[in-house]
Every structure is written in structure tokens, then in C-alpha cells.
Amino acid sequence: MELIYFSSSEKTDFHPLLVGHYVCPSNNTFGPHVRDYHLIHMVLRGKGTIYNDRGAHAVSGGELFIIREGEVTTYVADKDDPWEYTWIGFTGSRVSLFNDAPDVFETPGDLDVKLCEYVKRDEKSIDIYLSILYELIYHLFSSQREEHQDERVREVHRFIKYNYMNNISVSSLASLFGFDRSYLYRIFKQRYGLSPKEYLTQVRLDKGKWLLSMGHSVAESAYIVGYPDAFSFSKAYKKRYGTPPSRDKLSAKD
């Protein structure tokens, strides 16, 4: 087993405390144990299981598992294919960032190999391990940010779908859901093929067309779907469908 320790510090966002590497024997068990720092194991090859208060989590080569400060954990190497892993323990003022992270995660890139090589070379530069830690943090949480962002875009889509009759603008949507206006435009169009304004118009006009077919007047339909007057509704309607709403209203009567 290779192991390197660093002096403790909690004045920075993140501070490496120890790094190591171990080729585990069959059924090798560590724990139950509680730590006063956070610890990430990156499995190079083989497999095993980590147990915590959220259950049992199988981990194999190319994945990592997170152990948080203060939680009781036990981890066991597989009987037939025991794991080899490298790890980094750390503290700092922002370690709570990991509280909502998954217990098991795919190791990004070749960070496991890099960390292992530095440990084997007995590299003592804390800056090297800090850079690996920050790169790891970036990859771990960038995907979560993307998932969260995607859910927020879906919320915008749902909001428009069910609130089209209200006074909605792209600026108000951006403010409500915490987006920059131009950024919301870009990611919404990337996901749905329409800008938020185009989607709002589509929902309003499709609903207006249905209202006309049910016998509502042009003015009534315009008001119900959120247009300020019949003229602006008619202009948008003709642009979308190629015919004025009054003609579709007459067709509905026929």
C-alpha cells in the first residue's frame, strides 16, 4: 500500500489531506468506520461493494465512490475479482457540496490513472493533488448542473403550456426560472426546436384555432388565449395558418 499525508487546513475551499493506492486481496474489508474528512476512492480495476446508511452500492473498475465526513461506511473487495483503487481524502470550507452527490459515479477521464501514478512516484506536491481534486469536482458536478438545467428548461416548457393565457414574456420567464434571457432562448430552442416566444405563440394559436372550431368569436378566442386584441391575434393566426381566423370561424359554422 502507498500512502501520503498532508497537513490539515480548513481555510481553503478544498484541501487534500491524504492520497493512496492499494491492490486489495480477496474479500478485503475496511470498516465500519467514521471519518472526520471526505474521501473519494477511484477503482482502477476489479470490483467491490460499499455499505452506508443508504444501502449497498456495487462499484467496479472505472467508477468511484464517495465517503462523507461523519458517515458510517464499510467497503468490501469482491471475492473473485477484488478491486484495486486509488484515493484522495480532503477537507475544506466547501465539502458540503458533496452532501447531495451520488454515492457512486463514473470516474471522469483518466484521473484515476493520474492519481495512482503520482502516488506511486511518491509525489509530495500538494498542488498536483489539488488540481486533480478540482478537476474531479468539476466533472462530478458539471453533469449534475446539466441535468438540473435540463429540468429547469422542461419547467419553462410546462409553464408556458399551462399558463399561455397569461401575460408572459421571455424576460419574465427568464427571471422566474433564474436564466439569462439570451441563454434561455438558446437552450430552449436547442431542446425544442422553437424559441420560448415561438412556442408560446404556437400554443396560443393552436388553442385559438380549437376555440374557433367550437364556435367562439375571433375576439373571444383572442382574449381567452392571451392576446391583447383581435387584431394582433388575427395577424399572428394568418401568419401561422395562411388564412384569417374569421374564415376559419365561418368554416366552423358551415
Is residue 148 in some structural domain?
no
Helix (H, G, I), strand (E, B) or coil at 110: coil
Residues of the chain with pLDDT > 90: what percent?
60
Mean pLDDT of 60-75: 95
Residues 117 and 38 in one domain: yes
Written as nine digits, the cell of 163 is 399558463
**What's the domain count of the chain?**
2
- Please state, in angstroms and rounded to a whole number, the distance separating the CA atoms of residues 199 and 154: 13
Residues 9 and 52 in one domain: yes
Residues 117 and 183 in one domain: no
Lowest-pLDDT choice from 116-120, 136-140, 229-233 = 136-140
pLDDT range class, residue 249, cuts 50, 70, 90 = low
Does residue 115 register a pLDDT over 80?
A: yes
| Cβ contact 221:241 at 8 Å | no
pTM: 0.59
pLDDT range class, residue 9, cuts 50, 70, 90 = low
Residues 172 and 136 in one domain: no
| Cβ contact 34:74 at 8 Å | no
Q: Where are the beta strands (DSSP E) in 9-82?
A: 15-23, 29-34, 38-45, 47-52, 55-60, 63-67, 72-77
**Residue 133: closest CA among 12, 1, 3, 15:** 15
| Cβ contact 109:74 at 8 Å | no
pLDDT at 6: 82
Residues 119 and 212 in one domain: no
Mean pLDDT of 206-225: 93
Residues of the chain with pLDDT > 70: what percent?
93
Does residue 186 register a pLDDT over 70?
A: yes
Residues 43 and 109 in one domain: yes
Mean pLDDT of 67-83: 96
Mean pLDDT of 13-26: 93
Does residue 253 register a pLDDT over 60?
A: no
| Cβ contact 41:113 at 8 Å | no
Is residue 152 in some structural domain?
no
When comparing pLDDT for 251 and 157, which is higher? Answer: 157
User: Which residues touch 132 (CB under 8 Å, ≥6 apart)?
Assistant: 88, 111, 114, 115, 118
Does residue 94 register a pLDDT over 90?
A: no
Domain that holds residue 205: 164-254
CATH number at residue 92: 2.60.120.10
pLDDT at 251: 57
Residues 124 and 192 in one domain: no
* Mean pLDDT of all residues belonging to the chain: 89
Mean pLDDT of 192-217: 93
CATH number at residue 242: 1.10.10.60
pLDDT at 254: 46
Residues 174 and 128 in one domain: no
pLDDT at 93: 85
